[in-house]
Amino acid sequence: MSSSLTCTRLTLFTVAAVAIQITGLSFFVFGFFPVKPTLSGDSGSESFRAPMCYANQNESERDLPPHELQSLYQELSGIPPLYDQLILMVIDGLPAEFVLGKNGRPPTKTFMEAMPYTQSLLANGTAKGYHAKATPPTVTMPRLKAIVSGAIGGFLDVAFNFNTQALLDDNLLGQFSKIGRKMVMCGDETWLKLFPGLFMRHDGVSSFFVKDTVEVDKNVSRHLSYELSKNDWNLLILHYLGLDHVGHIGGRNSPLMAPKLMEMDEVVRMIHASAMMSPEDNKRTLLVVVSDHGMTENGNHGGSSYEETDSLLLFIGSKSHATDSASVISNDVNQVDIAATLALLFGVPIPKNSVGIMIPGMVDSLKDMQQLRALQLNSWQLLRLLQRQVPGFQCGSHPCDGFSGDNGYSGNGIMEKFCRLYLRAAALYDSWISTELSRSDSREDKSEIIAAYYEFLISANQWLSHKATDKPAKVIAFGVMSMILSCLIFSAVLYSIIQKKYFGEKRLSNGILTWHLDEGFSLSVIFILVISMGSSSMVEEEQYIWHYLISTLNMLLLRKTLQFFKKDSTCGLFTLFSGHERTSLRASSIFTLLITGRILRGWHQGGVNWTYLPDISKWLEQSGTDLQLIQLTSVLLTIILCLFSLSLLRRKTKIILVVGFNFFMSGLLVLHHIVKYRHNTSVPSSNAATSLAQIIYATLGITTVGTALAVPWVMPIQTSNVCSSDHAVSRPFKIGSQSQHPELRDCLYITGWVYIGSWCLLQLLLQQPVNTAVMLLILVQIYASFLFFSKGMQQQKQWVEVAVLYYIGMAGHFALGNSNSLATIDVAGAFLGVSNYSTLFSGILMFIITYASPTLLLLSMVMYISIKNLDIAASTQGADSGHVLKMTLGLPCLVSLTVNSILLIAYTIVLILMRNHLFVWSVFSPKYLYACATTVCILIGVFIVAATVTYAHMVLALRRNMIASINETR
């Protein structure tokens, strides 16, 4: 069976498996991750009537002019609007802890002193503050949707955050527009993308240039005086981005944080003094200060930790009064409650998909009847959503002229509970209305009604917020089966190649294939990872698993080196190291891997639970170490190491000089950029810095692609296979004795080191300064691995070596500070060299930064092939091109594809099993997104390796045939 696996069949099977995997993954992702089902259309007059009375909005209502529609709403609601103007001030990334403190304790002295005016408003009761819990993913676009629509967004909104589309769901801005309210927006241009054409004036700024902490907010505040003096708007939106950018650059404790808070406090003072202390035309103005999300200690966000979900909500208006509902709810609310509260305060229908509840105390200035009416309208809204989630759910008769009857609901337990809670509140309300007692004598009755309504509202809100949306089972099943089929194809093809290599070499002892401890452990790594992913804590702390596994594997390889060393005589090539000297080199390589691995293990305390522990990166930052010096040293050592490796190929001096010179110039450009522009990361990037970064991108790209394309055409063709010292390559890598393909070997050697060097230079430019040393250490690990593998013993199987490289890449991924939380994605570096924001270009840079280590190890496979596989490919005399390519590319490509496919299937099954887990959206789902991105990384890397080797082989074969034809004609 294995003998029938030709190169063509191998290619077809692999391509088919990749296509099936991509198809299955796409079906599963869009089937499993919720695309939130919504009620179509906008709320209208039907929202002021009990559910089941009027299922459809009156068509004539759509034709009413705005002022008549506003009068209709006010008549039906029975609640007069409390305010005429709304100023919505969004301070991006501001944790509520900075303003309100935490766990009953006030904010730190620094933060208190940074916002004196806001603190004075809170102290005298003019402002009411809340910790508004945001749901993950904690990124801007889905959080703004939650604020204005009150709906829980889909998890995949994190992907749409970088390519915002118009919001089609019912929302506050749409409701304001329907009744003729005029709106103005200054700040984050995300609002313009969500609500195109809705603002009569606007000035948008990009939210993605995170190096800008000054101008981005000045562009908002410069319009403030003008807009406050105007009298033609009803809604003013101000979205400040500078504080979020400060966090991304320097974290919570950045020296820029306090000045930025002072700036925001001055804006609050200016608005309060101008629009609220001395209002014109007796217009009642409400200032709402909100943040879309919080931030971690490092200033990032996107995950589900308390620090990221703790957003701020301040209502600044007239002084608050004592509330009957004070005991019902604390100052901890949900971010989705904002939409329902503002809708009731401004006399518009609650957005149709809102799951929020009215924040207690916000309508205390209304009459008792109107306060209870607001709670009734809110309860009707959630009752409609319950009916949507559970078809056939009807609670009571709900006559249009009021509540009557005791009709309950017979169904599942949770729905029966909701019906009971609602009917109790409605009965109390109905009884309270019909009573003849004085309202002033009914304070106790009113409090009971409020408590009953909030009991229903809170219970329904929690259930709706956590309700898993219906998932198309057939789509999910098709996706899973497709990925399983793809994994089986990868495994079968890989087994066929391994069987051909090792079973065919008669390396059997007493008829049984000999297994070594390192080989068994390499397989058990996959099993350990699969088992660990069933625990949320292990998912959060996956970096510890990888560091442990790679360290253990290196120890096993060291044991094997000392135990099974054999001398390997060759025909004279690469005999610099022999006997015990070679053993020492192999042992030194393993010791290098162990030492660098331990340093990488301690560089970042990644994950979630142990980030507060000391590590090398924190020590460097807190000790005042010059990080620029670390950057420069890393770049210089990278250049030296790569040029030294290239120089060892002495036979191709001219080619090496050209390639080395291009690489050296690229390195100098990176050094120049670091010296001139990276000395102060708090300063916004200048046009010169952006242009230089773009030049570096172009230079590295041209050098890399040009080398891969040109070297096979200029590589001298060796017409004799004689093994002589003239053709020796003076380097410590033992590359194929008596290789039939020396040109291909040398070509891939040059291309491989250019790939490695260019990728490292790109990362040294993009990564945070403290991570540049990590990239250097990963490069040292690659070099040490090549030294070890090039001296490979006969017992050393190549699939183990490729697996080890794969594992080193994943351990390096976490050593760079990455985790399975979206909060660790480096947003700042993704906009280096970007003059005009591009979703595609910035997304590519973000992907490059995040997957720096796995991609580097995949690119190094080109170099690995040059020192290993060509010998085996050439071992069969007269082998054709198909055999050479199959034996050359088979293991390096298929091992990575198969291991990733197995892990992807395991993560998929875990995600399905955990679909009702409390942490399904906060832990397991982000991990699965990383698994999908890793799959993309593997596919791209394998494609580059396969394309490079195939292209070089075809060009050299063509040139060899041309030379042979010329010689024959002579």
Using the 8-state DSSP alphabet, how is residue 920 labeled? I
pLDDT of residue 160 exceeding 50, the answer is yes
Q: How far apart are the C-alpha atoms of 655 and 819, rounded to whole Å?
A: 41
- Residue 351 makes CB contacts below 8 A (sequence gap 6+) with 42, 43, 148, 149, 150, 151, 169, 170, 171, 172, 174, 175, 339, 340, 343
**Smallest Cα–Cα separation from 733: which of 780, 784, 778?**
784
What's residue 755's pLDDT? 94
pLDDT at residue 557, rounded to an integer? 82
pLDDT band per the 50, 70, 90 thresholds, residue 19:
very high
DSSP letters of 45-87? Answer: GGGGS-TTT-SS--GGGGGS-HHHHHHHHHHHH----S-SEEE
Which range has the worst mean pLDDT, 94-103, 376-385, 476-485, 641-650?
641-650
Report which secondary-structure segment, H or E, holds 765.
helix 742-766
Whole-number Å distance between alpha carbons of 350 and 334: 16
Instruction: Please report the pLDDT score of residue 691 as a whole number.
Output: 86
In terms of average pLDDT, the best of 266-280, 525-539, 648-662, 831-845 is 525-539
What per-residue confidence (pLDDT) applies to 139? 81
Q: What is the pLDDT of residue 685?
A: 57
Does the pLDDT at position 511 exceed 60?
no
Least confident segment among 326-340, 613-627, 810-824: 326-340
State the pLDDT confidence band at 743, using cuts at 50, 70 and 90: confident
Q: What is the pLDDT of residues 794-816, one digit of tens each?
A: 456 788 888 889 999 999 999 98
Longest dimension (CA), the chain: 120
Task: Give the per-residue pLDDT at 475.
Answer: 86
The span from the first CA to the last CA of the chain, in angstroms, equals 44
Mean pLDDT score, 935-951: 93
Q: Report the distance separating Cα 361 and Cα 373, nearest Å.
A: 14
Which pLDDT does position 652 carry in this prediction?
67
Banded model confidence at residue 281, pLDDT cuts 50, 70, 90? low
DSSP per position, 406-444 = -----SSHHHHHHHHHHHHHHHHHHHHHH--S-GGG-HH
Helix, coil or strand: residue 958: helix
How sure is the predictor about 216, in pLDDT bands with cuts at 50, 70 and 90? confident
pLDDT confidence of 535, banded at 50, 70, 90? Answer: confident
Report pLDDT digits (tens) over 369-402: 888 899 999 999 988 888 877 766 777 655 444 4
Percent pLDDT > 70 in the chain is 79
What's the CA gap between 378 and 325, in Å, rounded?
A: 15
Rg from Cα positions in the chain:
33
Higher pLDDT among residues 158 and 385, named by residue: 385
pLDDT of residue 559: 79
pLDDT digits (tens, 9 = 90+) for 856-908: 999 999 988 888 755 555 554 455 667 777 778 888 889 999 999 999 999 99
Name the β-bridge partners of 186.
203, 238
Torsion angles phi and psi, residue 77, rounded to 5: -75, -35
Between residues 669 and 690, which one has the greater pLDDT? 669
The residue that leads in pLDDT, 969 or 335, is: 335
Residues 6+ apart with CB under 8 A from 480: 24, 28, 905, 908, 909, 912
User: Whole-number mean pLDDT of the chain?
Assistant: 80
- For the cut 80, the answer to whether the pLDDT of residue 634 exceeds it is yes
Distance CA 632, CA 670 (A): 9
Per-residue b/e over 95-120, b at no fewer than 16 CB within 10 Å? bbbbbbbbeeeebeeebbebbebbbe
DSSP H or E run through 456: helix 443-466
Give the whole-number percent of the chain exceeding pLDDT 90: 26
- By the 8 A CB rule, do 786 and 867 touch? yes
Higher-scoring residue by pLDDT: 762, 390: 762
pLDDT for the residue numbered 96: 92
By the 8 A CB rule, do 385 and 355 touch? Answer: yes
Q: Which two tokens stand for residue 97?
A: 């802890």
CA nearest 168: which of 63, 45, 39, 29? Answer: 39
pLDDT in tens, 697-733: 999 999 999 999 998 888 887 665 444 434 444 445 5
Highest mean pLDDT among 137-146, 202-211, 253-262, 822-831: 253-262
The contacts of residue 490 (CB under 8 Å, 6+ apart) are: 14, 17, 894, 897, 898, 901
The pLDDT assigned to 168 comes to 79
Domains of the chain are 45-366 (3.40.720.10), 515-565+579-602+626-969 (no CATH)
Of the candidates 368, 347, 344, the one whose C-alpha atom is nearest the C-alpha of residue 358 is 344
Amino acid present at 892? P
- Lateral strand order in the sheet of 332-334: 201-205, 183-188, 235-240, 85-91, 285-290, 310-316, 127-133, 332-334
DSSP of 343-385? HHHHT-PPPTT----PPTTTTTTS-HHHHHHHHHHHHHHHHHH
| Helix 798-815 and helix 772-790, axial crossing angle in degrees, nearest 10 | 170
Confidence of residue 969 (pLDDT cuts 50, 70, 90): confident
Residue 571 has pLDDT above 60, yes or no: no
Residues 906-933: what's their mean pLDDT? 81
